[in-house]
Amino acid sequence: MSDAYKFEYFTVQFPADHKYVAHVEINRPGSLNAFIEVMWENMARIFNKLSTDPDVRAIVLSGAGAKAFTAGLDVKAASEGLLSSETKTDPARKAASLRRHILAFQDCISAVERCEKPVVVAMHGYSLGLAIDLSTATDVRLCARDTKFGVKEVDIGLAADIGTLSRLPKVVGNYGWVKEVALTAREFGAEEALRVGFVNAVYDNREATIAAAFKIADLMASKSPVAVQGTKEILNYSRDHSVQDGLRYTGVWNSAALQTQDVSAALMSGLQKRTPTFEKL
Amino acid sequence: MSDAYKFEYFTVQFPADHKYVAHVEINRPGSLNAFIEVMWENMARIFNKLSTDPDVRAIVLSGAGAKAFTAGLDVKAASEGLLSSETKTDPARKAASLRRHILAFQDCISAVERCEKPVVVAMHGYSLGLAIDLSTATDVRLCARDTKFGVKEVDIGLAADIGTLSRLPKVVGNYGWVKEVALTAREFGAEEALRVGFVNAVYDNREATIAAAFKIADLMASKSPVAVQGTKEILNYSRDHSVQDGLRYTGVWNSAALQTQDVSAALMSGLQKRTPTFEKL
Amino acid sequence: MSDAYKFEYFTVQFPADHKYVAHVEINRPGSLNAFIEVMWENMARIFNKLSTDPDVRAIVLSGAGAKAFTAGLDVKAASEGLLSSETKTDPARKAASLRRHILAFQDCISAVERCEKPVVVAMHGYSLGLAIDLSTATDVRLCARDTKFGVKEVDIGLAADIGTLSRLPKVVGNYGWVKEVALTAREFGAEEALRVGFVNAVYDNREATIAAAFKIADLMASKSPVAVQGTKEILNYSRDHSVQDGLRYTGVWNSAALQTQDVSAALMSGLQKRTPTFEKL
Amino acid sequence: MSDAYKFEYFTVQFPADHKYVAHVEINRPGSLNAFIEVMWENMARIFNKLSTDPDVRAIVLSGAGAKAFTAGLDVKAASEGLLSSETKTDPARKAASLRRHILAFQDCISAVERCEKPVVVAMHGYSLGLAIDLSTATDVRLCARDTKFGVKEVDIGLAADIGTLSRLPKVVGNYGWVKEVALTAREFGAEEALRVGFVNAVYDNREATIAAAFKIADLMASKSPVAVQGTKEILNYSRDHSVQDGLRYTGVWNSAALQTQDVSAALMSGLQKRTPTFEKL
Amino acid sequence: MSDAYKFEYFTVQFPADHKYVAHVEINRPGSLNAFIEVMWENMARIFNKLSTDPDVRAIVLSGAGAKAFTAGLDVKAASEGLLSSETKTDPARKAASLRRHILAFQDCISAVERCEKPVVVAMHGYSLGLAIDLSTATDVRLCARDTKFGVKEVDIGLAADIGTLSRLPKVVGNYGWVKEVALTAREFGAEEALRVGFVNAVYDNREATIAAAFKIADLMASKSPVAVQGTKEILNYSRDHSVQDGLRYTGVWNSAALQTQDVSAALMSGLQKRTPTFEKL
Amino acid sequence: MSDAYKFEYFTVQFPADHKYVAHVEINRPGSLNAFIEVMWENMARIFNKLSTDPDVRAIVLSGAGAKAFTAGLDVKAASEGLLSSETKTDPARKAASLRRHILAFQDCISAVERCEKPVVVAMHGYSLGLAIDLSTATDVRLCARDTKFGVKEVDIGLAADIGTLSRLPKVVGNYGWVKEVALTAREFGAEEALRVGFVNAVYDNREATIAAAFKIADLMASKSPVAVQGTKEILNYSRDHSVQDGLRYTGVWNSAALQTQDVSAALMSGLQKRTPTFEKL
């Protein structure tokens, strides 16, 4: 484990047998990996760092402990935070303070989406509230059979505001189901998550899920990083733009990317049936 | 039944055992609940009224009679309407008249989407043409096993123009299937509707479907109305905007909404294992 | 076969027993229907022509030979093309040349989407790389049980740049699955394609798939061409715009389209239980 | 004056010597034409009615009395309105009530923009606050030399919320000037308004300004209403869309509009040097 | 004059004393340079060719003859064209034919905007109707003192549909003035055009205007073509997108463009006070 | 001067006689205030800090020394920076490095735009290259008569990429003029800047300009900070969205902001002819 990646409540590892793959683990298992403020900030720092780390080509994200990927926001800590802004009495000033706070939180989640390397998330156990916000900012979602998902925010009197309502419908592509689970806060399991396309696959338990995540991440890390990172970026761009705009952006992007030596490296090794090697990125 | 909600061809009720839930029923069963012009207008009036009625937190929409949710536009009446604009001979003036007519129709459907309270629709039997337009403007779609769906407009020589072509693809998230059913007008049943995500669930018959709709509506009505109505609004906004825009809008929305006392009410009752009470909205 | 539609590497036919339906077949079976530059251009010419050909109301697209719909870009030919731009040494000038090339390629694919008549594609065997780009520009996708799909571009060191990354997510509506197959280049079969909604249906073999495609195309061709072509256009517009914009565009479109005599032709023949005849378009 | 257009605080006239031109005058001169709630609603009703009145082809909007076009919102009345929502104590519920209120107000202003007939506004004297909101929703702005303009909202502690901040920058096309006047609330006169393009021309006094407005309106009313109303609609659409989208919308719009007999009527009378007559619209 | 650029009704020259500058002249002076169909097509072909011609870095566009830049559409020829679509009797089919026609026309104009090299237009005399459409698709507009401008389309019963209504407001940035001239069809002169920013400068006569256009074009042609063409492309992109999107696109564009040797060539020659030479593009 | 605001190459002051106004001065006069990398980062830090500093309500930005607001990027330093990325030989990897670099630079400029408090910039002397990028991110631009402006980037072989090409056209609203100055790199003076609306006013010299900037900033700082900051935010949002979207965002924003006590404070003091006091924000 690199010293550069020592952040409280997170373990970041670079397993020797998974070349170019980083493993980020949420590590506050005693509290079901519930998030307190410092964890948001650390998570953003970690993914910002990985984004440009030339030794990393794909990332696996998981939660430590048997019980939870993350049970969501640490409600107790969060309500104290809210209380602090309660000292303001003017509703408009309180609103300003809350808005700044929300935007800062959102930005930490968006760091995962902005990370230039693909992120595969392996979920298990309690995966509630911000577990959904967080996982919709990753690229591929896997889960264990025992996972308990829930967009729980309405249960505590608020509309989810750090990503779920913006990203979940675009991730699963089905508004009817999203509205049902977001407006009722009812929990749903791994099979339902698979059926609606929220997760790509379901595995027997936490370990098998993480192993599967590494398998996918390994595969991504074995490909040209120019190709993989370009593909992630263009897919994220396309989600928010028209097809015509997507094509135009792709053309400009690839006008530089196609000049890479990775293309001939990939073609050559394809013909010669050997594994290509790609320069760092 | 409230006098304020007496509108021809619709029954609006507030069942005592479903607190805060309104039940809107299309009521022209002798004509398979087919729509004539006054029904459009009445429907818009009803949903505009429910939108700000503080005693309503969720709405169930269904069709009276055993045979149909609605068989769609009353084609006979509509073709007479079209004929009236035929007195104009200049194609550009006829176009202006038709366009005003279409936009007015569309706006009646959009009243259901704009309604601040979530709407759960329970469909059965014939659910053709505008049944699709109408249901895609609701939040959650359920149906009985016997439902016969169809985007039938091409069968009468026109492109569906009051909502289906704009909303259906975003509801189900799959363009290939939408194009097939919209370009061929072939009917489809409950199972197919479930498989492609057009409905959230299928029930044995009309009664069971309406009962299930009430169950979901009850659940929504038991939550903080600040949270529920905010969630609906933000999800509708996000459908038509980029993720970045969605996050920004959410931040501003919640800067006021988070100041609600519903948050502490919900948290408290959660800790105390009792049902929270929320002020009207 | 019309002389006007003689283009190298393509067969265009107008089967007598499929009135108003054109059959376009990619015809370079000796090379697994892999695309070389002239094929792009010919394909665009064919679809541009069909778009306004009044004798055509629907199109079936398939690949000749038992082995492949198309194995994608002819990599050998393409790499020579790339090499030709390698004579430039200034990376910015090389980028300009590449960008022009990509945009020209994209435009050939977009000709299929822009074609005013609906296109049903029947895929079988190898359907890799640009097979995905191409098929996402059609309206309805069918495939044979033996089809081998793959977004293979990262395997040759590049991000797919002629349509897949912009259109595939909007076609299937599920970003998680798209990211997995696009970032790993792993192949997938007919059943998976059906499950995620990439294809509408799977058939036993190439012949059965093409027969099914004709059945759907025949059905489309039997409807009012005003209604069918309007529906395709509005659905394509709606994909890239907000619901509000979609409704506005639909209103303007139909202000002319509803003046067609097809509406009364369709209504009449509906009442009289006979097949309507529609003027050419 | 038509009975159909009798609305409190407004005079609507159809001057015999200005064929097809309606004159709407804000008529509460004793209070400097300041707006109270009923005036908003009446104004929306008037413009909705004029929008489809076949006897109207252009509209002049002005204010009665020597002193003001309108001094803006009747602050006294408005603050009472605000107070009524003050009975709510939950900030989120108060926010919901305020938001509904603002959107209803905005919609009244937007009725002027949505009106299918062009509107020329003649301003004089005090033209503060909502005078700006209102005039940016018209098509052509003229003013008298004595006009005192001001985006005054920050002076009463709020951001202008019924149109100015969204429309003014797009009307004048210069953000620097808009920011200065909106962030300081400093007043500006006719010459400055002309220089930055907020008004098209300045006249000596109220009467001359109204006369000039009629001259422009007469000119517009003498042209083909199909051409004029199409031009207004397409310009409004283009403001909010890309050039590419604007061209596409224009093409669809004119596909019906060009079928009008007004084109040959206009061409003929052009050749024959006589005034064309156009059917009503 | 190159043989490759021989197109009826246009003269294309490459003046020896204006290195890298092409001069395109509309050449049908006997008819005031009014456009007939073949001219549209030729103009598109010329600008498509110039767009990628490595010997061209900037373009001057002007009209031959003393009287007009162009008097617009050749109304007589156009009305015959319209008549040809009149053989269709179904209004929807006629609409389809008109729409295809309009889009084809628009695309010819857009070829000027899409041209990768900057275009400076020198106008004089009659510059009506499509003179406006055409000039708004160029980059810099100059005119002679005698120029008579007019958005004349409403005078012949139609809304301008080949570009003016979409581009003119974004070119001048002032909607009030655009609405006045487009809704009244009143003509305006060089001074007014300068005041509202439609032209950049006014010169004494046709010759002086063309000379000034060459001066600007020469200056553009003396700069790095990588820098100039990138600047044009990014400005056009930015017009139709948010600032955030503009910045993102710029970043991707320059990631290739900054690798050019033109940067060091420009810096060096700057230090050494000599004229830089740039490789062709 | 606060210790919290000590950043190399910048002076940040809070002049006692300008309550709530911060003065940020670029302070590297020996090098004409040309920017080196640390200055970007410091500038972003300063504006991020001021954005939420409750003691600041408006900001004046100027340049130290008699000769320049800023002569732009320190080309010598920048070219060394570029050289460092030259160690990479793969053009795609070099592109990735350049893109990250550009986005980081852009983000520093955007910090000025994102700053919640209005910024008035006072320019003088050399104001080239990034002086334009920077000033278009402020709210109000003033300049001294001796100012020499220029979008100089094409002169060093590149397209301006840190903001000018995206923001300048939206600031001045006139594309023709922007294209001329950006494609030729010709310099322009204060009078031209005023005429096209790039600056709001011109003053005799540096001191008078700064004094005028303070006058405007003082005025802004004397108003309700809720109103002022809301106005800035809504204007920035509106620039990048449709009018309809702008109105919707405004409604949500003001649903919280109107609950402020500043409204009654402003109204009261208005009636009582005294200066209102507003709580910090």
How many beta-carbon contacts under 8 Å exist across B and D? 60
Judged against a pLDDT cut of 70, whether residue E2 lies above it is answered with no
pLDDT digits (tens, 9 = 90+) for B30-54: 999 999 999 999 999 999 999 999 9
- CA D247 to each of CA C228, D227, E140: distance values in angstroms, whole numbers, following the listed order: 23, 16, 21
**Is E153 in contact with D227 (Cβ distance < 8 A)?**
yes
Mutation site for C-interface testing, chosen from D113, D237, D252, D255 by largest number of C Cβ within 10 Å: D252
Per CB-CB distance under 8 Å, the chain E contacts of F110 are 247
Per CB-CB distance under 8 Å, the chain F contacts of D157 are 223-224, 226-227, 260, 262-267, 276, 278
| Spatial distance between the Cα atoms of B86 and B97, rounded to a whole number of angstroms | 10
Predicted local distance difference test score (pLDDT) of residue B85:
53
Give all strands of the β-sheet with E148-150 in edge-to-edge order. E68-70, E126-128, E148-150
Residue of A nearest to D158 (CA): A92
Predicted local distance difference test score (pLDDT) of residue B77:
79
Judged against a pLDDT cut of 90, whether residue B1 lies above it is answered with no
Quote the minimal CA–CA distance from E103 to chain F in Å. 24
**Is E158 in contact with D226 (Cβ distance < 8 A)?**
yes
pLDDT digits (tens, 9 = 90+) for B195-235: 999 999 999 999 999 999 999 999 999 999 999 999 999 99
Quote the minimal CA–CA distance from E32 to chain F in Å. 26
Predicted local distance difference test score (pLDDT) of residue B3:
79
**F3-222: CATH topology:** 2-enoyl-CoA Hydratase; Chain A, domain 1 (3.90.226)
CB of E147 within 8 A of CB of E189? Answer: yes
pLDDT digits (tens, 9 = 90+) for F183-201: 999 999 999 999 999 999 9
Judged against a pLDDT cut of 70, whether residue D2 lies above it is answered with no
Judged against a pLDDT cut of 90, whether residue B194 lies above it is answered with yes
| Spatial distance between the Cα atoms of F162 and F99, rounded to a whole number of angstroms | 11
pLDDT digits (tens, 9 = 90+) for F115-147: 999 999 999 999 999 999 999 999 999 999 999
Per CB-CB distance under 8 Å, the chain B contacts of E91 are 91, 94
Confidence tier at C188 by pLDDT (50, 70, 90): very high
pLDDT digits (tens, 9 = 90+) for B87-98: 678 999 999 999
Confidence tier at F85 by pLDDT (50, 70, 90): low
Percent of chain A with pLDDT over 70: 96
Predicted local distance difference test score (pLDDT) of residue A114:
98
Predicted local distance difference test score (pLDDT) of residue C140:
98
Confidence tier at C88 by pLDDT (50, 70, 90): confident
Per CB-CB distance under 8 Å, the chain E contacts of A241 are 245
Predicted local distance difference test score (pLDDT) of residue E89:
85
Mean pLDDT, range C240-267, rounded to an integer: 96
Predicted local distance difference test score (pLDDT) of residue E41:
96
Judged against a pLDDT cut of 70, whether residue E86 lies above it is answered with no
Predicted local distance difference test score (pLDDT) of residue F83:
54
Quote the minimal CA–CA distance from C34 to chain E in Å. 28
| Spatial distance between the Cα atoms of C204 and F19, rounded to a whole number of angstroms | 80
Mutation site for F-interface testing, chosen from A56, A85, A89, A93 by largest number of F Cβ within 10 Å: A93
Quote the minimal CA–CA distance from F81 to chain C in Å. 18
Predicted local distance difference test score (pLDDT) of residue A84:
58
Per CB-CB distance under 8 Å, the chain E contacts of B244 are 244
pLDDT digits (tens, 9 = 90+) for D196-254: 999 999 999 999 999 999 999 999 999 999 999 999 999 999 999 999 999 999 999 99
CB of A95 within 8 A of CB of F257? Answer: yes
Judged against a pLDDT cut of 70, whether residue C92 lies above it is answered with yes
Judged against a pLDDT cut of 60, whether residue B184 lies above it is answered with yes
CB of C60 within 8 A of CB of C23? Answer: yes
Predicted local distance difference test score (pLDDT) of residue F87:
65
Cβ under 8 Å to B: E residues 202-221: none
How many beta-carbon contacts under 8 Å exist across C and F? 4
- Residue of higher predicted confidence among F182 and D4: F182
Confidence tier at D82 by pLDDT (50, 70, 90): low
Q: Going by C-beta distance under 8 Å and a sequence separation of 6 or more, which residues neighbour residue F83? A: none
Quote the minimal CA–CA distance from C91 to chain F in Å. 7
pLDDT digits (tens, 9 = 90+) for D146-195: 999 999 999 999 999 999 999 999 999 989 999 999 999 999 999 999 99
Q: Please state, rounded to an integer, the average pLDDT across all residues of chain E.
A: 95
CB of E243 within 8 A of CB of F170? Answer: yes
Residue of C nearest to F95 (CA): C91
Judged against a pLDDT cut of 90, whether residue B64 lies above it is answered with yes
Per CB-CB distance under 8 Å, the chain E contacts of B94 are 91
Confidence tier at F227 by pLDDT (50, 70, 90): very high
Confidence tier at D83 by pLDDT (50, 70, 90): low
Per CB-CB distance under 8 Å, the chain B contacts of F259 are 256
Residue of F nearest to E218 (CA): F184
Quote the minimal CA–CA distance from E54 to chain A in Å. 18
Mutation site for B-interface testing, chosen from A184, A186, A245 by largest number of B Cβ within 10 Å: A184
What is the ipTM metric for this complex?
0.95
Judged against a pLDDT cut of 70, whether residue D260 lies above it is answered with yes
Least confident of B13-17, B268-272, D30-34: B268-272
Predicted local distance difference test score (pLDDT) of residue B33:
98
Judged against a pLDDT cut of 90, whether residue B122 lies above it is answered with yes
State the Cα torsion D124-D129-D133-D136 to the nearest 10°. Answer: 40
pLDDT digits (tens, 9 = 90+) for E215-246: 999 999 999 999 999 999 999 999 999 999 99
Strands annotated E in F160-239: 201-203
Q: Is C256 on the interface with E (CB under 8 A)?
A: yes
Predicted local distance difference test score (pLDDT) of residue D3:
79
Percent of chain D with pLDDT over 70: 96
Residue of A nearest to B240 (CA): A240
Cβ under 8 Å to E: A residues 130-149: none
Predicted local distance difference test score (pLDDT) of residue D75:
81
**D225-271: CATH topology:** Lyase 2-enoyl-coa Hydratase; Chain  A, domain 2 (1.10.12)
Mean pLDDT, range B102-110, rounded to an integer: 97
- CA C253 to each of CA B98, C248, D116, E2, E216: distance values in angstroms, whole numbers, following the listed order: 10, 9, 18, 45, 43
Judged against a pLDDT cut of 60, whether residue A85 lies above it is answered with no
Quote the minimal CA–CA distance from B175 to chain A in Å. 11
| Spatial distance between the Cα atoms of D29 and D200, rounded to a whole number of angstroms | 25
- For the domain bounded by D3-221, which CATH number is listed? 3.90.226.10
Confidence tier at B83 by pLDDT (50, 70, 90): low
Q: Is E258 on the interface with A (CB under 8 A)?
A: no
Where do the domains of chain F lie? 3-222, 225-271
Mean pLDDT, range C72-86, rounded to an integer: 71
Predicted local distance difference test score (pLDDT) of residue A2:
59
pTM: 0.96
pLDDT digits (tens, 9 = 90+) for E3-61: 799 999 999 999 999 999 999 999 999 999 999 999 999 999 999 999 999 999 999 99
Judged against a pLDDT cut of 80, whether residue C189 lies above it is answered with yes
Mutation site for F-interface testing, chosen from D179, D196, D241 by largest number of F Cβ within 10 Å: D179
Q: Which of these, A135, A180, A133, lies nearest to A160 by C-alpha position?
A: A133
Cβ under 8 Å to E: F residues 9-68: none
Judged against a pLDDT cut of 60, whether residue F82 lies above it is answered with no
**Pairing mode of beta strands B68-70, B119-123:** unpaired
Q: Going by C-beta distance under 8 Å and a sequence separation of 6 or more, which residues neighbour residue A140? A: A118, A119, A120, A121, A200, A213, A216, C176, C179, C180, C183
Mean pLDDT, range D63-81, rounded to an integer: 88
Confidence tier at B75 by pLDDT (50, 70, 90): confident
pLDDT digits (tens, 9 = 90+) for B250-265: 999 999 999 999 999 9
pLDDT digits (tens, 9 = 90+) for D240-251: 999 999 999 999
pLDDT digits (tens, 9 = 90+) for E258-268: 999 999 999 88
pLDDT digits (tens, 9 = 90+) for C151-178: 999 999 999 999 999 999 999 998 999 9
Q: Is B249 on the interface with F (CB under 8 A)?
A: yes
Which member of F245, F252, F259 has the closest CB to residue B252? Answer: F252
* Beta partners for residue C149, in sequence order: C127, C188
- Residue of higher predicted confidence among E66 and F88: E66
Predicted local distance difference test score (pLDDT) of residue D147:
98
Q: Which of these, D204, F173, D256, lies nearest to E178 by C-alpha position?
A: F173
Least confident of D13-17, E72-76, E227-231: E72-76
Per CB-CB distance under 8 Å, the chain A contacts of F257 are 92, 95
Judged against a pLDDT cut of 90, whether residue C245 lies above it is answered with yes
Predicted local distance difference test score (pLDDT) of residue A75:
81
Mean pLDDT, range A5-24, rounded to an integer: 97
Which member of E93, E229, E281 has the closest CB to residue C281? Answer: E93
pLDDT digits (tens, 9 = 90+) for A229-248: 999 999 999 999 999 999 99
| Spatial distance between the Cα atoms of F123 and F116, rounded to a whole number of angstroms | 21
Strands annotated E in chain C: 10-13, 21-26, 58-63, 68-70, 119-123, 126-128, 140-144, 148-150, 201-203
Predicted local distance difference test score (pLDDT) of residue B78:
73
pLDDT digits (tens, 9 = 90+) for E145-163: 999 999 999 999 999 999 9
Which member of F103, F182, F240 has the closest CB to residue E242? Answer: F240
Predicted local distance difference test score (pLDDT) of residue F201:
98
Using a 10 angstrom Cβ sphere, with 0-12 exposed, 13-18 middle and 19 or more buried, the burial of residue C85 is: middle
Q: Is C241 on the interface with E (CB under 8 A)?
A: no
Predicted local distance difference test score (pLDDT) of residue D271:
82
Q: Which of these, C237, C117, C132, lies nearest to B170 by C-alpha position?
A: C237
